[in-house]
Amino acid sequence: MVEVLEAEAGRLGHTSAEAEQLLRTHGANQLVLHRPVRLSSTVGRQLSDAVVLVLLVAAGITAAMRDWPDTAVIALVILLNTALGSAQELRSARAIAALAELTAPRAAVIRDGAVHDLPAGQVVPGDLIELRAGDIVPADARMLAGPSLSLDEAMLTGESVPRAAGAGEQIFAGTVAVRGHGRAVVTATGRATALGGIAGALSGQAPVRTPLQRQLAGLGHRLAIGAAGAAAAVALLNVLVGHGFETSLLLGLSLAVAAIPESLPAVVTLSLALAAHRMTARGVLARNLAAVEALGSVTVLACDKTGTLTEGRMAVAELWTPSDGVAARRSLLQAAVLCNDACVDGRPAVTDDPVEVALVVAARAEGLDPATVRAAAPRIAEIPFDAEAAMMSTTHVLADGCTVSYLKGSPEALLPQLSSSDETAVGAAIARFTETGHRLLAVASRAGTRARLLGLIALTDPVRPAAAAMIAGFRRAGVRPVMITGDHPLTATAVARAVGIARSDSDRTVLAADSEQQPAVEAAVYARTRPHQKTAIVSGLRDRSAIVAMTGDGVNDAPALRAADLGVAMGRGTEVAKQAADVVLTDDDLGSMVLGIGEGRRVADNIDRFLRYALSGGVAEVLVMLLGPAIGITIPLQAGQILWVNLLTHGLPGVAMGTEQAAPDVLTRGPRPAGQPLLTRPMLRQLAVLATGIAAVSLVAGRLVDSAPQSAIFLCLIVAQLSVGLALRPVRLTRLAGNLPITSAVLLNLGLALAALYWHPLQLLLRTEPLGPTALLLAAAGGLAIGLLARGIGSNSPDTERKDR
């Protein structure tokens, strides 16, 4: 069947109807089929969480003791925590799946006689596909007659040397076209491909955790040990003062649950997922949630010039020929059209090189018909452009039967192979063009052993109007911009000065070859770089403690994108670059990345803020339970009351912190230091002050309200912790409505706290007593005082703390 499909596709490709039928028959061209997220499995994961397991044990103990009120409270907490966690997990999973769809590879497929840019998942057996340098092969296929294609098959074979694939040879999904172009007929898709077999063997492997995930896991381990120690101390203390073992054990378990910020994973995931979606709406597509976190830590931005700082719209600005006259200009442009792969019969193809398109446009402007020029001198051989050689060549048969080769490439690569009659004039022309920021191409002809220069072509790529403001934005955010380009040093320097990367003579431009071993960190521009030099420069910057974001769009940029802390690909770039990157700028606007940096810092601030909030409250509850007996309050809180406090403070308000607004200075301060722990020394000091304050006012309230000490402590703990949550916000207290989720959560939970005191069913469930007006005001005032304390000691601004360091 495949042979029949090949024969049919070899002419015009499938029709749309045929492709739809084959897609139904063979399925999507995907190695991993994204199954819908199931509610049952999500709930199962929530119930297997360590904190929930502790609650289940506690529920079993209370049920065995026939302590039905506490059993009901614990069951309610389990129900609400599981529902909240499941909802957040489902939301995050769907968000990640949506991001994965946006970053799926694409393929140039010929259907109904025309080239269509389609998602690779829609490729079917028998499809006729076009491949050019930079494309990822979307499926296993067989090459058709025509130009050869060189493929990097290292991912399958481990061989570092590209393989040339000619007509009839098999090529494989996932390999990378590095040179040449051609057409092929798809022979296998999805799991039927060679790569699919490998993917099937790897599908059971667990994913690698990000640095943030590892930090959170380490913090969770330490908190679990601390909570277990505190719980054991409380249980032992209660046994020593004469309470039953079961009651003491239940108190200890409840306190262990309260001391652990179990909402932290939900806060982190929600913060990252929401930030990723906000970034997507602004043209910044994070291919994984960890990239959002990394954006906020970037200290150096290594960016390309063409298409990033400039418009990426090439046009011929000027021609220079060794001899004056129209004939010399026409000979130069004829050679540029022949040594050229751009389409000349209609609109340029989306895969055409912009420089080659500009040459065709210039030839037409000179009065030449590019199609006629090519028909008069058919191509019989070619050496495709190679980044290492920095040139390409084609060989043609002329009308008189003679053959001639045309060479096109950088002047540095091409001129040493030629003999020029006036090297001084050539050098002067090169200097004049490069000083004004033009890109230069040299064009030559070779007949037999004689090679001569036909001329120089100066091309311009205008600087983006917003480039200077964009670079200034990075500098204000504490990110140092660096240009890494393959262009001539003078060209690179002219653009760097125009956009503000090079602002003075001290901002040096260096040749990449001079910095390959020890890249000069103080350099503003690295020029004439080759692929391996880009990687060396990025690695050198990282070795000097920089957190590097690298931008790129070509095949040759992929190694440097991988070597950087954060690879950033342009939306117009090759599939290789996009798949190697962590972030894709779908609108090709590097300025959007400034907003992404703000989102990354916003996430870090929200995690920082939640830790201050949750840990100060958890430690305060431990102190209350440990110190209460010492001041005459034998049991400061019942087990159900502890869990209710924990539910109202660590539940919705904690998760809502993940939606908090960015601080006003988020883009005018430096990035988070590399390797900084989640709990810094200044944060620990603030935690100690807040926890001590919360515990102190709660115990004082309980001591002064003799008639209902537990209820007074219960209410004061809730009000104090919610007040701290509001005080930690990066806005004035007069703007509480600025974040509707957290304001709504605080008001709702204050209502539930009062309901626990004054609504009879909850009174019975939680064993609370109503407070009189004086006691109520006392407990509320103590809690509000802690909010003012939190605001006063500056713990509302983790950003200020970062500046101080």
Please tell me whether residue 717 adopts helix, strand or coil conformation: helix
Q: Are strands 170-171 and 583-585 parallel, antiparallel or unpaired?
A: unpaired
Q: Determine which helix (DSSP H) or strand (DSSP E) holds 781, and give its type and residue range.
A: helix 773-792
Pair 712, 705: CB distance under 8 Å: yes
The end-to-end CA distance of the chain, in Å, is 69
Which of 377, 289, 228, 159 shows the shortest CA–CA distance to 596?
289
> Active-site residue among 127, 140, 304, 461?
304
Rounded to 5°, the CA angle 192-194-199 comes to 85
Q: How far apart are CA 639 and CA 631, in angstroms?
A: 20
Strands 140-143 and 391-397: unpaired
Q: Which run of H or of E encompasses 226?
A: helix 211-240
Cα separation values, 533 from 400, 434, 540, Å: 45, 22, 10
Output the CA–CA distances (angstroms, integers) from residue 101 to 98, 173, 490, in the order listed: 5, 19, 42
Please tell me the distance from the alpha carbon of residue 176 to that of residue 557, in angstroms, as a whole number: 13
Residue with the two structure tokens 């690698």 = 208
Token digits for 698? 């709660």
Q: Is 400 a catalytic residue?
A: no
- Comparing CA positions, the residue from 298, 249, 278 lying closest to residue 475 is 298
Strands 525-527, 480-484: parallel, antiparallel or unpaired by DSSP? parallel
What CA–CA distances, in Å, run from 406 to 148, 324, 336, 358, 359? 19, 20, 8, 18, 14
Side by side, which strands form the sheet with 379-386?
A: 315-320, 450-460, 439-447, 403-409, 391-397, 379-386
313 neighbors 354 (Cβ within 8 angstroms): yes
CB atoms within 10 A of CB 652: 21
Q: Is the dihedral of CA 417, 422, 424, 428 positive or negative?
A: negative
Task: Give dist(CA 470, CA 476) in Å, integer.
Answer: 10
Task: Sort 156 into a burial class: Cβ within 10 Å, 0-12 / 13-18 / 19+.
Answer: middle
User: How far is residue 124's CA from residue 414's CA, in Å, rounded to a whole number?
Assistant: 43
CA atoms within 13 A on the CB side of 749: 29
Active site residue ranges: 304
